[in-house]
Chain A
Amino acid sequence: MKWLPESASTFAPGVDLILWLVTIISVISCVLIAFLLIYFVIKYRRKTENDQTPAITHDSFLETLWTVIPTILCIVIFIYGYVYYDQYTVTPKNAVEVNVTAKQWLWSFDYSNGKKTLNELYVPVDQPIRLVMQSDDVLHSFFVPAFRVKQDVMGNRYTYINFTATKEGVYDLYCTEYCGTAHSDMLGKVHVLSKAKFASWQDGSADKVKKASAASIPPAELGKQLYSNKGCLACHSIDGANGVGPSWKGLFAKNRVFTDGASAIADENYIKESILYPGEKMVEGYGPVMPSYKGLLDDDEITAIIEYIKTLK
């Protein structure tokens, strides 16, 4: 049975080695103890009320044995744990930095060339990466099981993760420090691309290809994809349930009352403004928590989202 996730970073084999090592030690000890328990219970079961038992109170040899052996095993396991941890915490010289900002409930990534992505981290294969992470609000934790890396992210202080992906593919990214309502929806993907693909993603040519394919699907369909890819789903439901933000169900053309008492009809322009400048017109009953999507969504994508909202009656 599969009990470990895919191994896709230089750190993963070391962690897996420790997991295997401790598993083997554990299984042997457990089987030994279970066997002795059952064997003793059967062999020395009470036969008569007057069974004679020896008054054994201690045995120096045995006690030394089961003090020394666990001690040695513990030292060995510690050393393995330490050695691989040490490798993981030291940043390779040629590491490429990516800035990560966590906030309730999304991840945003800033690359050195000025690109910015939401919930989707793009990295080249076989290239050491150093994530420089900070939180805008509460604690979060960056966890990619396939890379076996995890680090808490907090406000007012940078924390770091080093990893080198070894396999192309798309891997899950979880938030593992409890952060409130949509903690379990604070998900992302790590795209490990070949060097060539990464280069074309970096200079934007990949975007154009993607756009072209995006153009071929209906806007409402595209909007639906963006809803889950760009993290909207963490706060806005599509079934009318009240979340951190207002539900999108029946939102379009609805009258919105703002915290300053003013009101407006939720038309295309209002929705676009809310996506780009979410703090401008706060609907009553909600807090100013949404980040601006300026620069993260282009006009076509915003239009697609508006079209999608229109379909949610």
Chain B
Amino acid sequence: MSEEQEKNYLDNGEGFRSWFFTVDHKRIGVMYLWAIGVFFIVAAIASFLLRAEHLTPGPTIVNADTYNVLFTLHGSMMVFLFIVPGVAASFGNFLIPLMIGAKDVIFPKLNLYSFWLYLAGALIFMLALAAPADTGWTFYTPYSIETGANVILITFGVFVLGFSSILTGINFIVTMHKLRAPGMTWDRLPLFCWAAYATSLLQVLATPVVGITLLLLIGERYFGLGFFDPAKGGDPVMFQHFFWFYSHPAVYIMILPAMGIVSEIMPVFARKPIFGYKAIAYASLAIALISFLVWGHHMFVSGQSKLVNIIFSVITYAVAVPTAIKVFNWLWTLYKGSIELSTAMLYSLAFIFLFTIGGLTGLFLGALAADVHLHDTYFVVAHMHYVMIGGTVFGFFAALHFWYPKMWGRMFDEFKAKIAFVLIFIGFNVAFFPQFIMGTLGMPRRYFNYAPEFQSLHVVSTYGTWIIGIGFILMLWNLMRPLPGKAPANPYNSLSLEWSMDSPPGTFNFDDIPTVTEPVYNYGTKIEEGA
């Protein structure tokens, strides 16, 4: 190995241009990470303001219009700028070529354009802040047609972001088809890649529908097309059909990569093969396919017909089963393992627990009669946050810690990271569990004002967000201060390919494309049970 080749991807070139014009998938992944990190923090600040507003009924720190803008910003930034592109674009970019044994994605330049498009979309989105929309992240018509706020810019921003998402998805799918190293058969593919494949499938096939929907919404505002405006003979329920045709699969765009991350981390820290590899891999694909069939469960009280409600309810329960299978498979991976409670493992275990709560509360919402009561209440808010934070964000944090040595070539302080984890875990439950109770009691969501009897629960919830905030700051501060010394190539004795190279990897990942000869999670000794 020559001196030159040892130069890792972080050191290979300095300055703005070397990053902004790079086609190195690792650098692009890192840039995504920074970008989504910034938007995550901005959107989180909006959520802290929202929660602070609810310390008392009536106006506390902002007025009703500002509140409406804040929840729209919080929702739309978290969804379109952080969580949809989030894990897939950042860790997906960084990891997929490393995991499948390739030197880059198949269209490196397109990958860079996708990132630029992401930035362009985000910029347009930010321009909209001059007169921010107050429609909620769902942009329901006809309110979004009539409101004076700047809906056009924000939806156009989302449209551009969608384009970025599609191109990233295409890139990943083709990469995984064409660039797997010799011997990297589909049944040896790491589960993160399986999850990323399913995610990309959804990005490619669901996003264009929301794209045209948002274009038509812009057309509604410019030309008065009338498709979604009852005053012109249009049907607002149709907008919801189109919107959820994308946005339900989008929920899986958000959660699948986190499932993939947990599937990577569990075997490493339990020193055992993942339990039911095939079941998890196929469940990812099954979820991706069935998720196109359940969008109507967001619309049980929207005026959708009874027959269609019933059909969607049935299929919704069908998608619950593969999810349940995954949870039990992760759980059984621990059985008879040799478990090390690293920070990444703690986040993964918390993921399993919180995601289970998120999934189980979905059972309430899928039941027609119960959903009539619970729809558009805080119950839905809590359910969604258990899936999105307890699921995706915990998975994301797990990944941040797990691949930290590989990404940055340094180690971090595990003890402080664990304290941060405990704070975030406790804070999260304090913040969101009370919202289930508020929901069953009938507290509607998107309410600036609320009845005094809900105050104590609201206050508890707000305190919870403060605990999360402290934990998050601690986590970030800890990660920003790596320990001295270089990280070893494979600190966890992991068997997957990304750990087979230096930390951080060189610019071209592999000096020679490796040949894969074993299953990916080949941990443990082959002794029959009970032998």
Give me the interface of A with B, judged by CB distance under 8 Å: 1-5, 11, 14-15, 18-19, 22, 25-26, 29-30, 33-34, 36-37, 40-41, 44-47, 51-59, 62-63, 66-67, 70-71, 73-75, 77-78, 80-85, 88-89, 135, 137-139, 141, 143, 145-146, 148-152, 154-157, 159, 172, 174-185, 241
> Contacting A156 at CB < 8 Å: which of B233, B442, B449?
B233
Is A176 a contact partner of B376 (Cβ separation < 8 A)?
A: yes
Chain B residues numbered 317-333 whose CB sits less than 8 Å from any CB in chain A: 317-318, 320-321, 324-325, 327-329, 331-332
B residues less than 8 Å from A141 (CB atoms): 301, 376
The answer to whether A22 and B367 have CB atoms under 8 Å apart is: yes
Interface string of B481-512 (1 = CB under 8 A from A): 00000000000000000000000000000000
Considering the complex, give the chain A residue whose CB is closest to the CB of B314. Answer: A78
Q: Which residues of A contact B340 (CB under 8 A)?
A: 45-46
Nearest B residue to A133 via CB reads: B303
B482 to nearest A CB, angstroms?
A: 24
Partner of A56, one of B142, B306, B361, B529: B529
- The answer for the CA separation of A15 and B337 in the assembled complex, in Å, is 43
Cβ-based interface call for B476 (8 A): no
Q: How far is the CA of A223 from the CA of B356 in the complex (A)?
A: 52
Q: Which of B62-70, B98-106, B213-221, B410-418 lies on the face that meets chain A?
A: B62-70
B134 sits at the interface (CB 8 A): yes
The answer to whether B273 has its CB under 8 Å from any CB of chain A is: yes
Partner of B273, one of A1, A57, A139, A181: A57
Q: State the 9 A-B residue pairs at the shortest beta-carbon distance, nearest first.
A: A145-B442, A81-B367, A51-B338, A155-B230, A85-B368, A84-B369, A55-B524, A156-B230, A184-B447
A-chain residues with CB within 8 Å of residue B367 when the two chains form the complex: 18, 22, 77-78, 80-81
The residues of A that contact B353 with a CB separation of less than 8 Å are 30, 33-34, 37
Residue A55 contacts which of B317, B320, B325, B527 (CB distance < 8 angstroms)?
A: B527
Q: How far is the CB of A157 from chain B (nearest CB, A)?
A: 7
**Contact of A81 with B370 in the complex, beta carbons under 8 Å:** yes
Q: Tell whether A44 pairs with B356 under 8 Å between CB atoms, given A150-B376, A156-B230, A180-B147.
A: no
Interface string of B429-471 (1 = CB under 8 A from A): 0000000010011101111111100000000000000000000
CA A149 to CA B136, docked complex, whole Å:
23
Contact of B271 with A by CB under 8 A: yes
Beyond A19-B370, A57-B277, 10 additional contacts (C-beta under 8 Å) are A1-B437, A15-B369, A37-B353, A58-B275, A59-B275, A63-B325, A82-B368, A85-B372, A184-B446, A185-B64
| Range class of the B interface residue count | 35 or more
Measured CA separation A56–B371 after assembly (Å): 40
A215 to chain B, nearest CB (A): 31
Measured in the bound complex, the distance between the Cα atoms of B306 and A2 in whole Å is: 32
Closest chain B CB from A228 CB (angstroms): 12
B338:A74 contact, CB within 8 angstroms: no
In the bound complex, CA of A9 to CA of B123 (Å):
51
**Interface of A, helix, strand, loop or mixed by DSSP:** mixed
Per the bound structure, the CA–CA distance linking A270 and B459 in Å amounts to: 44
Q: Is B363 an interface residue (CB 8 A)?
A: yes
Q: Does B129 contact A (CB under 8 A)?
A: no
Q: Which residues on A sit within 8 Å (CB–CB) of B321?
A: 67, 70-71, 74
Known pairs A37-B334, A57-B277, A74-B363; A81 contacts B325 (CB<8 A): no
Are B65 and A75 closer than 8 Å at their CB atoms? no
| A44 x B447 contact (CB < 8 A) | no
Contacts of A73 in B (CB 8 A): 363
CA distance A184 to B71 in the complex (A): 14
Residue from the list B310, B328, B371, B450 in contact with A184, Cβ < 8 A:
B450
Known A18-B369, A159-B303: A29·B313 in contact at CB below 8 Å: no
**In the complex, are the beta carbons of B524 and A56 less than 8 A apart?**
yes
B17 at the interface (CB under 8 A from A): no
For residue B370, give the distance in angstroms from its CB to the closest CB of chain A.
Answer: 5
Residue contact A137 to B142, C-beta cutoff 8 Å: yes
B171 within 8 A of A: no
| Nearest opposing residue in chain A for B327, CB measure | A33
CB neighbours of A85 from chain B (8 A): 306, 309-310, 368-369, 372
Q: How far is the CB of A176 from chain B (nearest CB, A)?
A: 4
B1 within 8 A of A: no
List of A residues within 8 angstroms of B442 by Cβ: 5, 143, 145-146, 172, 174
